[in-house]
Amino acid sequence: MDQLILVINPTGYSTKVSVYNYRNQIFLTNIKHSPEALAEFEKIADQHDYRRQAICDELAKANINLKDIKIVVGRGGLLKPISGGVYEVNEEMLKDIWNPMGEHESNLGGIIAHEIAKMIGPDIKAIIVDPNSVDEMDEIAKISGLPEIKRKSFMHTLNQRIIAKNFVREIGKSYEDINVIIAFIGKSISVGAHRKGRIVDVNNGLIGDGPMTTERSGSVPCGDLVDLCFSGKYTRDEIWKKMKGQGGLCAYLGTNNFYEIEKMIENGDQYAKLIYSALAYQVAKEIGALSTVLKGEVDGILITGDLTYSNFLMNEISERIKHLGLIRIYPGEDDMDTNGMYGYMVLRGEIIPQKYS
């Protein structure tokens, strides 16, 4: 009998969907959502019905019967700080997803997975794996400089763990025995220090500190930011958009598409080259800072995410960090297969999902 595993990964303007029969992927699609369609919803979480129906429609077109699905794996969102691992979606989790730590499309993963699981039957589990809010940071890393503000852990947890485990297979060691620095570089950027199986320090990749990205400002001089907030020129929402969505490369160059930026550079645009190089500079600087967290004991520097397809960026970053140790680049993402694997392991009883509370 088939043991189908449904994996759902909502992103900004699309929803990735894959189906596995045991460990074999039998279906994969990336459902595109127009900005106009998504603009009809006040909050990101309000898109759940729209996206769920789109998923069901695609599965029906592919002649995949929902009743054959035995487990649903959703992308983990912005929950309260928790340890890493696999969690079953329960009522407590849904309460926190509907009242999230921040607006983000990843919050839809748990909601939609839960809804589809309930459509199939009461015994079908919905799970998430290594959500963005996993917090394994050392307490010293959370000290900000103001008692009222604590540094937070929001990162690409699943992607970073995938890359770490790929790396240890290559070198024949255990994740729990190595120290690595991992940079996920995309529309958001998180750079984490992994020490003996724990992510002990990381920038807030949601909206906070760290390098600027294609559309986020990252760390900016705080005094100047305060002045900007109270200048009377911008509303609170407009400031937030400057920090997330309209910041970074988008603010400087008018686009968040790195292919367009590279074309500008090829055509001799020196300003575009400066700004694009600054992104690489800031990523390299973050990696260098985390080498001090690991006291220089770095087994590897691993880089992943969509922007690894930019040879310009990879060369710029590598040139600045090559003195720190071994560099490995893992283009793209591998989250669908990994989530499918965890779904398979839960079905087989190899992993018992943790209870979220």
Q: Encode pLDDT of 158-211 as tens digits.
A: 999 999 999 999 999 999 999 999 999 998 999 999 999 999 999 998 887 999
Sheet bearing 300-305, strands edge to edge? 198-202, 189-195, 179-185, 300-305, 327-331
**Share above pLDDT 90 across residues of the chain, in percent, rounded to a whole number:** 90
H-type helices in 28-129, by residue range?
35-38, 48-61, 91-98, 107-120
Q: What is the pLDDT of residue 333?
A: 67
Is residue 92 pLDDT above 70, yes or no?
Answer: yes
Question: What gap in Å lies between CA 278 and CA 336, rounded to an integer?
Answer: 31
Q: What is the pLDDT of residue 332?
A: 75
User: What single letter denotes the amino acid at residue 240?
Assistant: W
The answer to whether 9 and 339 are in contact (CB under 8 A) is yes
Q: Encode pLDDT of 30-75 as tens digits.
A: 999 998 999 999 889 999 999 999 999 999 999 999 999 999 999 9
Question: What gap in Å lies between CA 168 and CA 275, rounded to an integer?
Answer: 34
**Share above pLDDT 70 across residues of the chain, in percent, rounded to a whole number:** 99
Q: Where are the beta strands (DSSP E) in the chain?
A: 4-10, 14-21, 24-32, 69-74, 86-88, 125-129, 179-185, 189-195, 198-202, 300-305, 327-331, 354-355
Arithmetic mean of pLDDT, 309-313: 96
Is residue 292 pLDDT above 70, yes or no?
Answer: yes
Q: What is the pLDDT of residue 1?
A: 58
Q: Encode pLDDT of 139-166 as tens digits.
A: 999 999 999 999 999 999 999 999 999 9
DSSP code string of 225-244: HHHHHTSSSS-HHHHHHHHB
Quickly state the pLDDT bin for 334 (edges 50, 70, 90): confident
Arithmetic mean of pLDDT, 1-19: 91
Q: What is the pLDDT of residue 102?
A: 73
Q: Encode pLDDT of 97-121 as tens digits.
A: 888 677 889 999 999 999 999 999 9
Is residue 217 pLDDT above 80, yes or no?
Answer: yes
Domains of the chain: 4-134+335-355 (3.30.420.40), 158-325 (3.30.420.40)
Q: What is the pLDDT of residue 101?
A: 74
The answer to whether 335 and 13 are in contact (CB under 8 A) is no
Phi, psi of 256, rounded to the nearest 5 degrees:
-110, 15
Nearest partner of 336 among 2, 111, 18, 122, judged by Cα: 18
